[in-house]
Structure 1
Amino acid sequence: MITGLERGGAERQLALLLRHLPVACEVAVLTRAGTVGAEIRRAGVTVHEIGMRGNRDLAALPRLVRLIRRGRYDVVHTHLYRACVYGRVAARLAGTSRVVATEHSLGDGHIEGRATTRGVRVLYRATERFGSVTVAVSPTVAARLRGWGVRPGRIVVIPNGVDPAEFAFDAGRRAATRQRLGIAQDEPVVGVAGRLVPTKRFDLAVEAVARLDGVRLLVAGRGPMRDPLERLARALGVADRVTFAGDMPDMPGALAAMDVLAAPSVQESFGLGVVEALAAGLPVRYTACPALDDLPPGEAPDARRLPTDVRAWTVELRRVLESAANRDRALVPPVVGRYAIAEQAARLARLYRAETPEAVPTRERAHDAAT
């Protein structure tokens, strides 16, 4: 169960999991199926649209209860705040004994773009008790859940996953994507990817590229910050060197077209885009990425952390681009294998069968402790 199925990190992660989970699945979407929902249906998975009209549309609850009772599902697995709140309650009312929730987007002071007010926290904690276990996508998120009052014994860390083969560099794909976007084949390209919201700090990338002669910025994503970013590019005189591509269904192609990924986000719950870029053989410069920061050093040698300082970004991007022509994009760092989707899907399947979080195999708990 998920709140919506337009293109986003959690939505793409669900679609990827469905291809690898060794169990039969159906999907319930609270709002509408959207582009990712259509993709899931094309793969042969049933998608139920609940038709929820807003956060307080309580009529959705009995519809969910009826759906779960008819389906007689062994497990209900919820994703994103609204689906977690309504889904846990509906599953309990329908008599489902195993209810798993994945927390994708819990930031410091916000969740999925909304402020984490006292009311939001109280509702989350109250409904969390109706579930069996909460999956955090990183130790950083697990710590935030504990700070909200979720008992440690009810939390298991299972990271997001990536399909390395899907993102493996392809020179033909690079050329085709650049041609489609009107980017010269020999033009140096800095890329950013993700929802265009203030915490992503893509304005730093625009300002840094404005100081680099002959360099293009490729912006893959959409969101409320698009207009301000376009105005900033015009004010800096680089509107002709910034390509706003919007949502790109072919994210591997977008990454192939780039020479370096800039990820100046100041808050992340995991940092899936960074891992995908590393799988595409790209060097990455970032500010916050639990997927890397929670690991031992050396697993991602082509990723470097930078402060939120335009000068630092300008200097570093210039240095990386100068060596881009000599880079072997077929080489990927060890961190990509650590987050391979097949292993994460297998861990979830084992969690589905566990009686309690403590019943998850010992190596799962040891992984959580190590990270």
Structure 2
Amino acid sequence: MGKDKNRVAVYYRNDDVRLEERPVPGIGPGELLLRVEASGICGSDVMEWYRVRKAPLVLGHEIAGIVEEVGEGVTRFGKGDRVTAAHHVPCNTCKYCLRGEYSVCDTLRTTNFDPGGFAEQVRLPRINVDRGVFRLPDEVSFEEGTFAEPLACVLRGQRIAGLRPGDSVFVLGSGISGLLHIAAARALGAGRIVAADISRFRLDAARNAGADAVFLADRDVGGQLRQANGGLGADVVVVCTAAPPAINAAFGCADRGGRILFFAPSMPGEAFPFPLYELWRDGVNIFFSYAGPPGDTVQAIEMLRSRRVMVHGMVTHRLPLAETGRGFQLVARAQDSIKVIVLPQK
């Protein structure tokens, strides 16, 4: 294959991801061409209800790699730099950005890579280069660098939910987002951390990530939580699954004065019973979180560098680009995988 060709994994649906060739994207002023060394498959990548209507497309937003070409006017980065990049970046000038609500910025929702990260090479647009590309410290591998974006999302969620040192934390759903919430909460000084899932495989991973207690979420979730947490609900409840039973159970898991963070989206149009009186009576606050602004990404990279958050053990599968389809099936099935990393240069 010549240098003008770019191998990409094209998504049609979860069980149909095809290896194709496309031209290497050209770059303009202010842009970078990135050689992708590692790209993580996110749980959002396998949300068919959201992805199929936009297919075919090249997904992949958790990336790390080496700068191959530098566009005119770029001074902060040079050829050969090791970097990670955020696909969604804010404008920093709208009313939402000015009050710190970056995740609802109109610009943030429209920015992206060209193509997505399941490719040998991607173009990083000017706006991403300006506020969404970050150097990787020597201590952080490319594989670890793919965790900068999801960890930033986690840090933002815990920040807006007001996680404090000593708070008890209950993580409902122990996939990769749940594990990162456990690890980050532990690093930030949380007290007792309890995790629940319907998979024993994932509960083992939750223990390894730092949970003090785990249980199967197959019955009386609130009762099991209190049994594991000294008879109390949790100060912070983090819901990392869109499963309706988990969402409904979460309302009964917060202690008085506690906070519930919904971290995973439901399908559009889904509605859930809302126990308003009980939440009002107990002073429970509810939060939602999406994306991770640049400041949280900087913190995430430092936590990876310092090993305050250890992610190497969360990776269960490393696949060459040609096996991206298998990776999507592993993540969609959610049985014997945690984090699947695609290695586009292999």
Highest relative contact order (Cα 8 Å, sep 6+), 1 or 2?
A: 2
TM range (shorter): 0.3 to 0.5
Q: As a proportion of its length, which structure holds more strand?
A: 2
